Amino acid sequence: MTETPQTPVRVYVHFAMAGAFPLRIADLLFTDDELVIPEYHYLTPIFGIARGKTHDVAETAVKRYRTAGTAGLVEFAERTHNVGYDDVERVRLYDGRAIGRPKIAVDVRTGPPFAYRIHAPIDLSSLAGALTELGARRGFTVNSPSKIGFSPVQSLRRFAADR
């Protein structure tokens, strides 16, 4: 499998994590046509994080992307979200301040946001610039508040609503 020229990746956010428990490792690929979010293995704190499995999965994802492009990541994923740009309202980037990791949240018109902590080293200002440029062409905005990107009150409400 090779990357097709019709869907080049414009912005690639690698080694992000979503969820509380189990955690899901994901990549976010902003292509010309859509946002593709392959989510890989579900990890628990004891059997995944403590044993370094997060880095193993992230390294495997990079190898898959280099050899097989987006299609290879989708094939590797346990589930994939394909989000058309007409559904993306806004992308929020948080720096995590001094206590947290950077976070990316993609607000969509038809459901909850796709939110991930970024565990790979990243230049947030370059990421914001690239996403702003893409958003101008595809119809979404980018906000970069200097915050941690976490609200305990909202998290408790969401948890209570799920029960």
Residue 133 counted as domain residue? yes
Model pLDDT, residue 57: 79
Tens of pLDDT, residue by residue over 72-125, are 999 999 999 999 999 999 999 999 877 788 999 999 999 999 999 999 999 999
Task: Let me know if residue 4 belongs to a domain.
Answer: no
**Domain assignment of residue 3, yes or no:** no
| pLDDT score for 33 | 93
**Domain annotation covers residue 25:** yes
Q: What's the CATH code of the domain at 39?
A: 2.30.29.30
- Residue 133 sits in which domain range? 9-162
156 belongs to a structural domain: yes
Identify each DSSP E strand in the chain by its residue range: 9-18, 23-31, 34-43, 79-84, 88-94, 103-108, 114-118, 141-143
Q: How many domains does the chain have?
A: 1
> Taking residues 20-43, what's their average pLDDT?
86
Sign of CA dihedral 80, 81, 85, 91: negative
User: Residue range 9-28: average pLDDT?
Assistant: 87
User: Is residue 53 in a domain?
Assistant: yes
Which residues does 143 contact at the CB level (< 8 Å), separation at least 6? 90, 91, 92, 93
pLDDT digits (tens, 9 = 90+) for 123-156: 999 999 999 999 999 999 999 876 555 444 444 4
Q: Is position 33 within any domain?
A: yes
163 pLDDT higher than 50: no
pLDDT, tens digit, 9 for 90 and up, residues 36-76: 999 986 655 555 444 556 777 788 888 999 999 999 999 99
> Does 160 have pLDDT greater than 80?
no
The residue ranking higher by pLDDT, 136 or 161, is: 136
In a domain, 19, yes or no: yes
